[in-house]
Structure 1
Amino acid sequence: MDTGTHFVMGAAIGGLATLDPVVMSSDATATAVLIAAIVGSQAPDVDTILKLKNNALYIKHHRGITHSIPAVILWPIGITLILLLFFPDANWLHLWSWAFLAVFLHVFVDIFNAYGTQALRPFSDKWVALGWINTFDPFIFGIHLVGIMFWTLGAHPGYTFLAIYAVLVVYYILRYRSKQNIKRIISKRFPDLKKVIIAPTIRFYQWRVAIIDHDHFYVGKAFKDELIIYDEFKRLPFPKEHILSAIQGDENVSAFLSFSPAYRWEIEEEDDKIEVRFIDLRYRKDGHYPFVAIVHLDRDLNIISSFTGWVYSEEKLQKKLEILPD
């Protein structure tokens, strides 16, 4: 989920903690638990700092080790130890318990996004991405804001957020059923289906769709019971092994290929350079595919420059590559 949603979820955990009599019996414990809930709800995303280094590092490692099983155990311990320095009278066990719930909830809800997490590390490096909920879901964010508003108006925060989370359980079930319905529609229309990627959007009934069958890629959207295909691409093997060998060790290409399950490629050869472009098919917007990896090589197959990430115009892409358009 996005940072704002994780923040309001942290506040919600702080509200739920008011149901804990041990927490409410001590001002120090209550204050420390509220801080722990908010900090714990943000802690796993500390790896966002990798973006300052480069996109490749961020794409390859974001929601990786910081969302793993050891991290879910260690984050609450670290938060608890630090807060006990400032609130020595706080009950350490209940402080740790609520910090743990905040960290666990952060990782748990991220599993339901299309991006996913490596939540099973160290037992598996597989990305767990159920793809039911958009990274920012206005209903989830909004209902938390409503809960916080009622809290400030005097409602009991514990019971308020218990009710809200009961509603959210139903909401998640509805999202699951909606996605399963889209899967059934696609399976009927594409009997030679190899793989399908159904990604949520900010709209409840609308989903992004990337379909792979034996010979083609199809890109479109689903809305309720309707499937609309916008683009169709022939699936072709990468034709030039010497070029592939030259670029596959590049960190931007490697990061892109580790992240993208559905992409196509383009090669453009000019007098003084070769351009290889990989295009992720999951993020079509207004006829444009913004998530790409691109490499420029000279005629001797030395890499001149490369880039991976989200770009929305060719001019910006060329600037990122530090090469002016011809």
Structure 2
Amino acid sequence: MDTGTHFVMGIALGGLATIDPVVFNHPDTYQSVLIATIVGSQIPDIDTVLKLRNNAIYIRNHRGITHSIPAVVLWPFIIALLLYLFYPEVNLLHVWLWTFLAVFLHVFVDIFNAYGTQALRPFSSKWVALGWINTFDPFIFGIHALGIVFWIFGNDPRVIFSTMYIVLIGYYLYRYSIRKTLVSVIKKRIPDTEQVILSPTMKFFQWRIAVITKNKFYVAYAYQSSFTIVDEFERIPLPDTPVMNTAIKDTNVAAFLSFSPVYRWEIEEGIRYIEVRFIDLRYRSKDHYPFFAVVKMDHNMNILTSYTGWIYSKEKIRKKLEILPQ
């Protein structure tokens, strides 16, 4: 989820913690738990700072080790012990338990996005991305914000947030049922489907779709249970050639390939250089595929420049690479 949603989730979880008698009856423990749930709901995304270095490092590591099983266990210990230094009278066990729940929920809700996490590390580096919920879901953010407003105006947080979480469980199950129905419709229309990758949008019934079959990739949009194919590509394996073998060793391209499950590639050879492009098919927006990797090399297989990331303007792409005339 986005930073704002994780923030309101942390506040809401701090309010829910008042159902714990130890938290409710001990002011220092309560204050520590509220701080801990807010920090715990944010701390796994500390790896966002990697974006300051470059996109390749960010793509390879964001939602990686900081969302892993060891991290989910370790973060609560660090946060609880730091708070204990300032609030030595707190019940440390209960602070740790609510901090653990905050960190766990952060990672748990992230797996329902199309982006996903490597939540199974160190046992698997596979990206877990269920594709039920958009990274920013207006309903999830809104119901948290509404609950916080009710709390500010003096209502019992135990009632507010217990009710809210029951509603959210129903909401997630409903999103799952919509997704399941849509996948079934797609497989009936494209019988040789091997994999369906759904990316929810902020609009409740609209989805971006990438379909993998034995010989083709399909890109589609869906509204409710109907979908429209907007692009179709031959599924061509990466060739075993000097150009491609050089390209996939590039840092930016390697980061892209480690993250993207469905992409097409193209090679453009000019007089002065060769350009190899890899285009992720999951994020089509206004006839454009904004997430890609590209590498430019000379005819001696020396890499001149490369890039990976999200760009929505072709002009910006050219400026990034400082494209020379062909």
TM-score by structure 2 length?
0.97
One-letter amino acid matched to 2:121: R
Partner of 1:201: 201
What is the deviation of 1:113? 0.8
Partner of 2:95: 95
Partner of 2:74: 74
The answer (yes or no) to whether the contact 2:14–2:33 under 8 Å persists in 1 is yes
Which SS does the other structure have where 1:296 is aligned? Answer: strand
Structure 1 runs of 4+ with >4 Å offset: none
Partner of 1:245: 245
What is the deviation of 1:244? 1.2
Query: Which stretch shifts more, 6-15 or 18-27?
Result: 18-27
Aligned pair count reads: 326
Q: Structure 1 CA distance, aligned partners of 2:297 and 2:238?
A: 16
Mapping of 1:1-326 within 5 angstroms? Answer: 1-239=1-239, 241-323=241-323
What is the deviation of 1:240? 5.7
Distance 1:160 1:189, change over 3 A: same
What is the deviation of 1:322? 3.5
The answer (yes or no) to whether the contact 1:315–1:325 under 8 Å persists in 2 is no
Residue by residue, what CA displacement relative to the aligned partner does 1:180-232 show, whole Å, maximum 9, x if unpaired?
11111111111111222111111111111111222221111111121101111
Q: Structure 1 CA distance, aligned partners of 2:151 and 2:320?
A: 46
What is the deviation of 1:70? 0.7
The answer (yes or no) to whether the contact 1:55–1:309 under 8 Å persists in 2 is yes
Which SS does the other structure have where 2:42 is aligned? Answer: helix
Residue by residue, what CA displacement relative to the aligned partner does 1:59-101 show, whole Å, maximum 9, x if unpaired?
1111111011110111000001111111111111111111111
What is the deviation of 1:321? 2.0
Q: Structure 1 CA distance, aligned partners of 2:320 and 2:85?
A: 45
Where in structure 1 are there 5+ consecutive unaligned residues? Answer: none
Query: Which stretch shifts more, 314-323 or 196-205?
Result: 314-323
Residue by residue, what CA displacement relative to the aligned partner does 1:97-117 show, whole Å, maximum 9, x if unpaired?
111111011011011111111
Q: Structure 2 CA distance, aligned partners of 1:19 and 1:39?
A: 20
Q: Structure 1 CA distance, aligned partners of 2:307 and 2:201?
A: 26
The answer (yes or no) to whether the contact 1:318–1:324 under 8 Å persists in 2 is no
The answer (yes or no) to whether the contact 1:215–1:234 under 8 Å persists in 2 is yes
Q: Structure 1 CA distance, aligned partners of 2:168 and 2:58?
A: 30
The answer (yes or no) to whether the contact 2:23–2:33 under 8 Å persists in 1 is yes
Q: Structure 1 CA distance, aligned partners of 2:325 and 2:85?
A: 57
* Identity within the alignment, %: 62
Q: Structure 2 CA distance, aligned partners of 1:219 and 1:274?
A: 27
One-letter amino acid matched to 1:93: L
Query: Which stretch shifts more, 268-277 or 203-212?
Result: 203-212
Distance 1:237 1:203, change over 3 A: same
What is the deviation of 1:150? 0.3
Which SS does the other structure have where 2:285 is aligned? Answer: coil
Q: Structure 1 CA distance, aligned partners of 2:118 and 2:162?
A: 28
Q: Structure 2 CA distance, aligned partners of 1:15 and 1:287?
A: 44
What is the deviation of 1:313? 1.1
Q: Structure 2 CA distance, aligned partners of 1:135 and 1:269?
A: 38
The answer (yes or no) to whether the contact 1:318–1:325 under 8 Å persists in 2 is no
Where in structure 2 are there 5+ consecutive unaligned residues? Answer: none
Q: Could you say what the CA RMSD is over the residues aligned between the two structures, in angstroms?
A: 1.2
Q: Structure 1 CA distance, aligned partners of 2:19 and 2:286?
A: 48
Which SS does the other structure have where 2:272 is aligned? Answer: coil
Q: Structure 1 CA distance, aligned partners of 2:41 and 2:102?
A: 5
Q: Structure 2 CA distance, aligned partners of 1:124 and 1:194?
A: 22
Q: Structure 2 CA distance, aligned partners of 1:257 and 1:34?
A: 40
Which SS does the other structure have where 1:255 is aligned? Answer: helix
Q: Structure 1 CA distance, aligned partners of 2:265 and 2:182?
A: 27
Which SS does the other structure have where 2:41 is aligned? Answer: helix
Which SS does the other structure have where 2:217 is aligned? Answer: strand
What is the deviation of 1:274? 0.4
The answer (yes or no) to whether the contact 2:178–2:225 under 8 Å persists in 1 is no
Q: Structure 1 CA distance, aligned partners of 2:299 and 2:152?
A: 66
What is the deviation of 1:325? 6.2
